Structure 1
Amino acid sequence: MSGEKTTQAVSDSDDLATFNLYDAPGHLLRRCQQLAVDLYTLEVGINGLTPRQFALLLAIYQNSGISQVDLVRLTGIDRSTVAEMVARLIKRGLLVRQRTETDRRTNALAITPEGEAQLRAAKPGVERTQDRILHPIPPAQREAFIAALRSLVEGLEQKP
């Protein structure tokens, strides 16, 4: 068989040949995420907050004193990534971290004035991004689409 190429006949019963990625929810969600990040970068700017930084800072702004454990639950960003992001945002002067009085093992996070300024600067671009993401969906279906996405997230977050 040296040097010979073998070809596999493709038939309608071949489950790999007939699998359509554009019917696969996981693939479509990944593509939507890629496109959403591209739109976000266009609207917020390459030097602005990343989508995860925006989510983290917003969650902390809305929940001043939140612990990193609660931040993981609230944002869905994994624990090690949150720890790295928090450290970088503290180094950039966008967050502060203090030990809580009730549990000295727990850190309470708060946004700094500079962090709030960057959050406010990014918000118009974030809103434009959300509008652009929803644009292909007819206006009458947008609320149901968001509700379906929320149901999907809530259902998938449930532990089996």
Structure 2
Amino acid sequence: MTRAEAADLPDDGAPRVPDRLRRRASRQLSQLTTRSDRLINEGLARVDARKWHYAVLAALQDHGPGSQAELSRRTGIHRSDMVGVLNELAERHLVERAPDPADQRRNIITVNTRGRHHLRRLDQVLDELHDELLAPLDPAEREQFMGLLTRLLDHQEGTA
């Protein structure tokens, strides 16, 4: 438990967060994001992976080969960070780089067989972690929750 989490609990263990904060969607989403990030990061670390590895492998598997810039747009990973992620994935022999026939100055990144197997393993790990994160919700509530989150994000991305 972090100091911030401990500060939310008085000696008797009951929450001391003011109700007006607990009623704010922004605060609740922020708190859930913090806990979700920790759960996912720790879970992926146990299999020697990171969220960015998963994002890049999933983008390559779902949308096909792409340049570093394309992968940055697909995943939301900053272009300067993408270099490091691709280096890690290449060192692990999960992706292949080849010169772009249309522009020899850039490389096209492709997920290989080993990378596809690794992605399937990460899918399993993330399924288990998401089950843990969403444990209090039944299947219908999980589907509704994901639908609402998607709708909120789609709306925010449309106005950003």
Could you state the TM-score of these two structures normalised by the residue count of structure 2? 0.71
2:96 paired residue number: 96
2:126 paired residue number: 126
Q: Is the 8 A contact 1:49 1:118 kept in 2?
A: no
Give 1 or 2: higher helix fraction: 2
> Larger C-alpha radius of gyration, 1 or 2?
1
Matched, 1:52 2:57: no
Q: Is the 8 A contact 1:48 1:122 kept in 2?
A: no
Matched, 1:36 2:36: yes
Letter in 2 for 1:75: T
Return the offset for 1:151.
1.8
1:40-91 C-alpha deviation (Å, 9 max, x unpaired):
3565452432222112112112233122222223222222222321122223
Structure 1: distance between partners of 2:52 and 2:62: 15
Structure 2: distance between partners of 1:98 and 1:150: 35
1:144 paired residue number: 144
Cα RMSD, aligned residues only: 2.7
Q: Is the 8 A contact 2:44 2:51 kept in 1?
A: no
Stretches of structure 2 that go unaligned for 5 or more consecutive residues are 1-17
Letter in 2 for 1:77: I
Specify whether residues 21 and 61 from structure 1 end up closer, same or farther in structure 2 by C-alpha distance, changes over 3 A only: same
Could you state the TM-score of these two structures normalised by the residue count of structure 1? 0.71
* 30-39 vs 144-153, which moves further: 30-39
Specify whether residues 85 and 102 from structure 1 end up closer, same or farther in structure 2 by C-alpha distance, changes over 3 A only: same
* 125-134 vs 22-31, which moves further: 22-31
Query: What is the aligned residue count?
Result: 143
Structure 2: distance between partners of 1:44 and 1:76: 19
Q: With a CA cutoff of 8 Å and minimum separation of 6, indicate the structure with the bigger relative contact order.
A: 1
1:62 paired residue number: 62
